[in-house]
Structure 1
Amino acid sequence: MISPAADIDVRPVTEAEYPDWLRAVNTGFLRAPTDPPEIVEARRRQLAAVRLLGAFDGDRCVATYRSFDQEVTAVGGTPVPGNAVSSVTVTATHRRRGLLTRMIGRDLAEAKERGDVLATLIAAEYPIYGRYGFGPATAMAEWTVDVPRAGLDPRGSGPGDGSRIDLVDGAEVRKTGPELHERLRRVQPGAVSRSDLWWQLSTGSVRFETSWKEPYFAVYRSAAGQVEGMVSYRCDDRWGDAKQPQNTATVNWLIAVTPDAERALWRYLCSIDWIVRVRSGSRAPDDLLPLYLPDPRAAQITSQADWLWVRLLDVVRAMEARTYAGDGELVLDVVDPGGFTGGRYLLRASADGASCAPTTRSADLVLEAGQLARLWLGDESAVRLAALGTVQEERAGAARSADALLRTSRRPWCPDMF
């Protein structure tokens, strides 16, 4: 018999309860419920750096929630403190009982109290998180490159300008990767911080899965010897009729801080013997990859979706953290059923910076917190949202004014899954 909702206890998870919490996570994501003991012990490495909530029906964990500290790069390069949300599940036997609402409400309130400017997540299901004030703030695309069609000269795959590409091992990635990523996220709106554990998991020095297989790692070094790009990838082993290779190189992640490094790494991947397809992994929706190829049509989008979702917890700090495309003023009337950010705000933006403060002036735009989150990183258009009816213009032309201030020349991108 299932307990009444009021009898289900939502509370922080103790170390002793962690295996049961992990079993509930696996159940929620339709994985094998029980991990081997060595995997459970390996996963304990993250306990000191995360906040775990569980819903307990008696002794059994029936819903899970994890959050941890994260920085998100605002437009212009300022890192903003945030609360990353992950491992959200409700066991099938206990759905529609308000357990997620209790967990997320508690966690967001604590994040607001800590002084976090926003919360983030990668949504497994689109319809869930809008009702909690989240909005999709970045998108992703994945390309598959038909290498023979791309038109690249197989005789000249190297950079050829004094720069070079080297295969390296996981230890080298752990040594040079964090600094490279820091350089990237200082200039990439939507990028998020990576912990030491992220690099350990990516290179296999810590393993959360028994099926983990070592990938290949390649780094791009400029003529001056500086690491400016890095890629992790794997290759399959498939042969067709008449002994023709049909192999695919699949990118786990690729980061680069210069167009030269990015171009060289993509061309390297397309030059590997026996590789006839390259799958790009998750990239920005306006990624330059197709345009690096003599025939851009050789790169076909095979997946496209929303990616990083944002929930603003402090409108003033969020709007003041970013830069703007021009000068202007905008009065935003933010509706927030969650009670964190509701109110009317005057945004004044210029090349010298921005200010945002509560105001009693008449609103230019009325919108819910989740819609402002969609606009914050510059990816979405207020004009589009006004056409959909999710943003209301109180002053004629206000949506166009908002786009002139908020939108960015390149689309924001989050390279990470968490």
Structure 2
Amino acid sequence: MTDHRRHHHDASLDRTMTDALAADGLEVRRVDDTARAETDPWLEAVARGFLDGERNDDQRQAFFDRTAYRRKLGVFDASAPQPEVPAATFASWATDLTLPGGMLPACAISSVTVAPTHRRRGILRRLMAGELRTALERGLPVAVLTVSESTIYGRFGFAPAAAAAQWKIDVRRAGWIGPDAPGRIDFVTREQGRGIAVELHERVRRDSPGEIEMPGGHWDRYFGTRPDAEKADQLRVVQYRTPAGGIDGVAVYRVTEDHADFTASVVDISLLVAATNEAYAGLWRFFLSLDLIGTINVSELSTAEPLWWMIADQRAATITVRDHQYVRILDVPATLAARRYDVADTLALEVADPLGIADGTFVLATDADGTATVDPVDDPPVGVPFVRLGVAELSAVLLGGVSPVTLARAGRIAADDPARVARLFAWPTAPRLSFWY
């Protein structure tokens, strides 16, 4: 772990959070990453919270071996029949979030559960507020998460900032009008593919607003290389190799045969990483040219995929868009100064925060070279365009995924000149996150 990762992982618990939960007869404590006697019950609580079955020993060991980087919290009820199983769980770790033109340390959040027996007691609010304060104190100016329930996190200041597209492609209709890639496609083993993907994802994510580092253990899950992997033998892996011999793309997929019509079999692509336009074209043409395939399914794509302009019949693709990467600004000056801008301008922002972490009035000034300064002020300067918004709305526009004009029309922000705000926060690349965590 780098310093900021360990700094966050080992941080003391927020006293306000622990005192509030103790007053309700509950104890919150960190789970010992070195003791399965603590991680196993914690994992069972997480599985229960996400409506999964009990974990077997292989699954518990695989989780234990791959998640020591996570800061795991449990809320324990000593009066429960199983006091060792937490009534609520929370995990986080320090990562890097790609912004438009920049990078920013971030607190990634996962495994957030509250048992049905302990709902409506304010447990989640206290956990979330306490851990967000801790993240800010440890130098992480923004928090991110992916969610199973989209209605929960807005009240904590999170907002969907990078949407994900799910594609279902009718291969017989699609056709190919994209370019001919000069390289070649080759099959590789799952282990080889895993090694390739790590380096490729690092290349790609640094230019993709909304992406974070792939969390520990995820690569083994994608490639079926962990000991508890199910149906790993059904996975196939291909790479794209340039004429010069470099590896610029990799993809993982599985085929489900249609025994009633073998020409209507289905391909599910679970991962496709392309570091160049040529690799992107080469991999997609490979999939659209497979024999006996009627349908291709793939998810967590960008809302602006080049593939849309590479198929002859765009109606061959059924595309569903949904919220995916949620963002929550904790430090307004640090976050806004970390990204780049295409317009030189000055705005005054009045930010409201339901948790009282990031509220205040700020002057955002950008230069012609794309850099910004952000200064807290008591009152906005006279003559500077004024924007009044919540921290959720500011988080939503951070990556350039939604226009402030849209939010103004929706009644979510108040601005003297919404179009001017939109020009400042616009970015040419649509934000995306290519996985769940």
Deviation at 1:200, TM superposition (A): 2.6
| Letter paired with 2:307 | L
3-state SS in 2 of match to 1:245: helix
Deviation at 1:410, TM superposition (A): 2.7
Q: Deviation per CA, 1:112-157, whole angstroms, max 9, x where unpaired? A: 111002110011111110111111101011111111111349xxx9
3-state SS in 2 of match to 1:7: coil
**Residues 131-140 or 212-221, more deviating:** 212-221
| Letter paired with 1:390 | R
3-state SS in 1 of match to 2:336: helix
Counterpart-to-counterpart distance in 1, 2:358 and 2:234: 45
Q: Which residue of 2 aligns with 1:17?
A: 38
Deviation at 1:160, TM superposition (A): 5.5
Q: 1:215 to 1:298 in 2, by over 3 A?
A: same
Deviation at 1:239, TM superposition (A): 2.5
| Letter paired with 2:312 | P
Counterpart-to-counterpart distance in 1, 2:331 and 2:265: 49
3-state SS in 1 of match to 2:348: strand
Deviation at 1:204, TM superposition (A): 2.5
- Does the 8 Å CA contact 1:239/1:245 hold for their aligned counterparts? no
Give the alignment's Cα RMSD to 1 decimal: 2.0
3-state SS in 1 of match to 2:263: coil
Q: 1:172 to 1:244 in 2, by over 3 A?
A: closer
Aligned pair partner of 1:373 in 388, 395, 404? 395
Q: 1:351 to 1:261 in 2, by over 3 A?
A: farther
Q: Which residue of 1 aligns with 2:184?
A: 164
Q: Which residue of 1 aligns with 2:324?
A: 307
Off by >3 Å, runs of 4+ in structure 1: 159-162, 207-214
State how many pairs are aligned.
404
Q: 1:192 to 1:161 in 2, by over 3 A?
A: closer
Q: Which residue of 1 aligns with 2:342?
A: 325
Q: Which ranges in structure 1 are unaligned for 5 or more consecutive residues?
A: none
Q: Which residue of 1 aligns with 2:3?
A: none
Q: Deviation per CA, 1:177-236, whole angstroms, max 9, x where unpaired? A: 222111101211111112453223322222455455551111112222222221111110
Q: Which residue of 2 aligns with 1:281?
A: 299
Q: Which residue of 1 aligns with 2:18?
A: none
Q: Please tell me whether residue 66 in structure 1 is matched to residue 91 in structure 2.
A: yes
Counterpart-to-counterpart distance in 2, 1:199 and 1:226: 21
| Letter paired with 1:236 | T
Aligned pair partner of 1:103 in 78, 103, 127? 127
Counterpart-to-counterpart distance in 2, 1:232 and 1:67: 27
Q: Which residue of 1 aligns with 2:202?
A: 182
- Does the 8 Å CA contact 1:137/1:377 hold for their aligned counterparts? yes
Q: Deviation per CA, 1:54-103, whole angstroms, max 9, x where unpaired? A: 11111141111111121110101x22111111111111111111111121
TM-score relative to the length of structure 2? 0.88
Deviation at 1:247, TM superposition (A): 0.6
Q: Deviation per CA, 1:285-334, whole angstroms, max 9, x where unpaired? A: 11122211111211111x32011000111111111111112111111111
**Residues 171-180 or 64-73, more deviating:** 171-180
Query: What is the percentage of aligned positions where both structures have the same residue?
Result: 34
**Residues 122-131 or 189-198, more deviating:** 189-198
Q: Which ranges in structure 2 are unaligned for 5 or more consecutive residues?
A: 1-20
Q: Please tell me whether residue 219 in structure 1 is matched to residue 236 in structure 2.
A: no
- Does the 8 Å CA contact 2:255/2:268 hold for their aligned counterparts? yes
Counterpart-to-counterpart distance in 1, 2:123 and 2:232: 33
3-state SS in 2 of match to 1:49: coil
Counterpart-to-counterpart distance in 1, 2:181 and 2:395: 43
TM-score relative to the length of structure 1? 0.92
Q: Please tell me whether residue 90 in structure 1 is matched to residue 118 in structure 2.
A: no
